[in-house]
Amino acid sequence: MIAQKFEYVVPTSLGDAVNLLQKHAGHAKILAGGHSLIPMMKLRLAAPELLIDIGRIPELTYVKEESGKIRIGALTTHQVIESSDVIKRRLTALADAAGLIGDIQVRNKGTIGGSIVHADPAADYPAAILAFDATIVTLGPQGERLIPASKFFVDLMTTALEQNEIVREIQIPVKAGKTGSAYLKMAQKASGFAICGAAAVIELDTAGVLTNVAIGITGVGSHAFRAGKPEAALRNQKPSRDAIKAACEKASDGIIALEDIHASADYRLDLTRIYARRAVEAAIERAE
Ligand SMILES: Cc1cc2nc3c(=O)[nH]c(=O)nc-3n(C[C@H](O)[C@H](O)[C@H](O)COP(=O)(O)OP(=O)(O)OC[C@H]3O[C@@H](n4cnc5c(N)ncnc54)[C@H](O)[C@@H]3O)c2cc1C
C-alpha cells in the first residue's frame, strides 16, 4: 500500500524540531531511521500530516562516557551501538541486543530512540534498557524531562512520552565493581524480532556473592518488564546453577503472555524461564 499524503520538513537543530512538533502537535511525527514508521504509514496504521525528519541533527548522534554514566544520543544507530568499544565493554547486553536486531540494513538505519519510542512488544532494546536501569531524557516545550526506564514502557506500543516531546538521549549508570551483562533471544526467523528476549545485569562482591541482579524480558507481554521474583531470590546469594534455575522458574509469574501465529502464550512463558536463566548464567560468566 502507499502511505497517505504528508508534508516533510528537515530541521537542522533540536530546538527547531521541538518547535515544529509543538506547532503541529497531534498531526506530526518524528522520522528517525524510518524502519518502523514508514512500514506503519504504508499499512495506514499511522497517517501523520507532517513528518519531521531529525536525521540531519548532528547533536543527536553520540556515545559518551562521563560522570559515571554512558550517554547515548537518540539518533545513534543499532550498528554504532553494536560496534562501540565502550558499550561492548561496559554495557555488553546492550551491544548484544543491537547486534541481534533484524539485518545489517535495519541496523545501519534504525536508531535507539526510534526503537524505544516505537515500543514494539518484541523489540530487543527494552529488555536491556530496563535491566540497566536506564533513564530516558526527553525535550519538550517545557524543557528537559528525565523518565526512568521502569516508567517509560507503559503498554503495547505506548510509552510515557508526550506528543510534543522528543527523546534526546538514553543515560545508563556505569557500575563500579565486578559486573557482567548479557542479552539472549529466541528470534522470529523472518524479521529477527524477539519471541522472547532476556537481558541480565549482575554485580558480584569480592566474596562472589550477587549484590545485584536485574532481569529484563521482552517479546512476551504487551511491553517489556523486569522479572522481579528471580531478581529478589538471587540477591545476596552465591550463584550456583541450581539456585539460578530455581530462581528463574519464577521469571514468568503473574505475566499475561501474548499469543500469535509465532508462539502460544504458554510457549512464551516457558521461554521466559529458560532465557532468564541463560541470560543470568551468561552475565555471571562475563563478570569482571
Ligand atoms: C525488516 C525489519 C526487521 C526488524 N527487526 C528487528 C528486530 O529484530 N529487533 C528490533 O528490536 N527491531 C527490529 N526492527 C525495528 C528496527 O529496530 C527499527 O529501526 C526501530 O524499531 C525504529 O527505529 P527507527 O530509527 O527506524 O525509527 P522510526 O521508524 O523513524 O520511528 C519510530 C517511531 O519513533 C518515533 N521517533 C523516532 N525517533 C524519535 C525521537 N528521537 N523522539 C521521539 N520520537 C521518535 C517516530 O515518530 C515513530 O513513531 C526491524 C525492522 C525491520 C524493517
Give the pLDDT mean for 48-64.
96
Q: Sort 202 into a burial class: Cβ within 10 Å, 0-12 / 13-18 / 19+.
A: buried
Q: Write down the pLDDT at residue 145.
A: 98
Q: Which of 18, 118, 157 to mutate to test the pocket of ligand 1 (most atoms within 8 A of CB)?
A: 118
Residue 176: what pLDDT?
87
Distance 203 CA to ligand 1 centre (A): 31
pLDDT of 1 reads 80
Q: What element of type H or E holds 65?
A: strand 63-66
Does residue 98's CB lie within 6 angstroms of at least one atom of ligand 1? no
Question: Which one-letter amino acid corresponds to residue 252?
Answer: S
Which residues does 96 contact at the CB level (< 8 Å), separation at least 6? 128, 182, 183, 184, 199
98-to-37, 91, 127, 169 alpha-carbon distances in Å? 19, 11, 11, 16
Choose the residue to mutate in 77, 115, 168 for probing ligand 1, maximizing ligand atoms within 8 Å of C-beta: 115
What are the tens digits of pLDDT across the range 96-148?
999 999 999 999 999 999 999 999 999 999 999 999 999 999 999 999 999 99
CB 130 within 8 A of CB 122: no
Q: What is the share, in percent, of the chain residues with pLDDT greater than 90?
A: 96
Q: What is the arithmetic mean of pLDDT over 137-160?
A: 97
Q: Determine the pLDDT at residue 18.
A: 95
> How far is residue 261's CA from residue 239's CA, in Å, rounded to a whole number?
37
HSE-up of residue 288 (Cα within 13 Å, Cβ side) = 6
Closest C-alpha residue for ligand 1 atom 34: 114
For the beta sheet containing 135-140, the strands, ordered from the edge strand earlier in sequence to the opposite edge, are: 63-66, 69-73, 166-173, 135-140, 143-148
Is 197 touching ligand 1 by the criterion CB < 6 Å? no
**3-state DSSP assignment of residue 174:** coil
- Round the average pLDDT of the chain to a whole number and report it: 96
Longest CA pairwise span in the chain (Å): 63
138 close to ligand 1 (CB < 6 Angstrom): no
What is the Å distance from ligand 1's center to 234 Cα? 34
